[in-house]
Structure 1
């Protein structure tokens, strides 16, 4: 449907989206956004995370810690791209769309997040305290973040390219039935949820690492799984609130807009996917590999 736009215009918009994603990544002030999560959110909920232990605080506090760790990461470089998924999630509907369908898409998105977090939480907790301490080594954290987020960014770029209609040869290889399943709003929501769940796998954020150490101290993979799922809900909480507000306040308008001009919401989601993918690939990939990031710090704009 987006093919009604000329190839030249689509290429231009895709390049602009890539440039915007790279610009944001280059000027990203990680000290500022990390500080907001650490000093404003986490500190107000749990105090200093490095000063709490499972032996002192117990099981229930671990879930509060988990929610705080997820919420504190909302605007960090390892989570901010979740907001680039919002247009795709909100616009991944059709002419028969309704609030019920929109809420089902959101539920499937959340299930994807929870599924990945459940497995990852059980895994890291099974490593034990010493294993998690080694896992939390800075070199290990950064390497894991680079690999995870660069790959997620690459997936977003391919998805954006498909959405822009640039990869027709690839889609032509798929059967009509499979293509119909993959283009379903529910399938898209589920895939986006799985990708957002993998944000936890790559996250190098210190508060998050303190949280998984706390969970490991419990000695229970089951507890670690549940706690990580709580963290997963925390990391998407702000996006979910925005989504619900969007659907609640503008649901009917969105439906009418999609009926009248279905190519426009698709274009917006395509741009968002390309920008989000470019951010991840540049920030966690090229900027680290070739030391071509942190422009604001290198220019002396940030302290």
Structure 2
């Protein structure tokens, strides 16, 4: 008797455009971009930053995170992790959830042990921590001469606003390119195909790059503490823990979808392998569109330089 063996769907191959692709991939891409645009228009920074972010940070720390000075290195490292966790749903971190789709898609078609599913998270962490640690060291060395401390205005834009636009603009563009590659609308670079872990490391590096332009108030408190201490170990640790806090919710969501659903999500994806490309590409395009529009277009609209639709709530 011949036993048919279900072959695993290789997550990185599908992720970087090896297919199979959905039949209406251009329409899917357009719908994802439209969803990113709508999300940009209705996004409420005060609600996410203050109502959610401040409440989480104050509850976990046990004091007013904005009003209480950071008292030393140990308090600073704790503050870094908690403020990173509290900022999970801020506009400067929301694109990180685009990584959930390729992570879950990577588990389709085969049964994985819990320890095995931690490996892709490890690759994301490797890329993320490389960027955040290096940036933390730079902040500790350069100190308050960093652009984030400048309030000079140039055509209504401060240096820190320009830095945010550049940093998140690059991140948004790369997420958009990855989404188009996932859907097969663009051909992925050859080296990314030859190195299966490269897509996850790249996404991790992008998530680490969020810190380069992040204006989140609680992050800026931690940023100032690291800059004023001039302690490279503290700077590296604080920025690393900030990034770890940023992906905790994303990682838990991935593990829940992988292990707490009885395999239903994986079976649904594996039933029609093109679904992996669809979900992955759409998630990355939504995240990329939102990041690019919010930080490079809506910011200009808020300053009155251009018009951009915004719903206040």
The TM-score bracket by the shorter chain reads 0.7 to 0.9
For normalisation by structure 1, the TM-score amounts to 0.85
> Secondary structure in 1 aligned to 2:123?
helix
For residues 5 and 258 of structure 1, do their structure 2 counterparts lie closer, same or farther at Cα, with a shift above 3 Å needed?
A: closer
Match of 2:258 among 233, 247, 253: 247
Structure 2 partner of 1:48: 64
Identify which of 145, 168, 192 aligns with 2:164. Answer: 145
SS at match of 1:48: coil
Determine if contact 1:49/1:210 at 8 Å carries over to the other structure: no
Show the 5 A alignment for 1:11-50: 11-46=26-61, 47-50=63-66
Gap regions ≥5 residues in structure 1: none
TM-superposed CA distance for 1:167, in Å, is 1.7
8 Å contact 2:45–2:90 — kept in the other structure? yes
Partner Cα distance (2:267, 2:107) in 1: 11
Residue 180 in structure 1 maps to residue 193 in structure 2: yes
- State the distance in 2 between where 1:75 and 1:179 align: 29
State whether structure 2 residue 237 is matched by structure 1 residue 214. Answer: no
CA offset at residue 137 of structure 1? 3.4
Counterpart of 2:83 (choices 66, 69, 72) is: 69
Change (3 A) 1:80 1:137: same
Structure-2 residue corresponding to 1:5 = 22
Whether the 8 Å contact between 1:49 and 1:211 is mirrored in structure 2 is no
Q: Deviations over 1:55-76 (max 9, x none)?
A: xx22211111101221121111
Deviation of 1:216 (Å): 2.5
Alignment partner of 1:109 is 2:124: yes
Is residue 263 of structure 1 aligned with residue 274 of structure 2? yes
Instruction: Extract unaligned runs of 5+ from structure 2.
Output: 1-17, 152-157
Match of 2:3 in 1: none
Count, aligned residues: 284
4+ long deviations beyond 6 Å:
none
Alpha-carbon distance between aligned partners in 2 of 1:206 and 1:293, rounded to the nearest angstrom? 24
Using the size of structure 2 for normalisation, the TM-score is: 0.83
Residue 218 of structure 1, CA deviation = 2.4
Aligned with residue 99 of structure 2, among 65, 73, 85: 85
Show the counterpart of 1:277.
Answer: 288
Matched residue of 1:296: which SS? coil
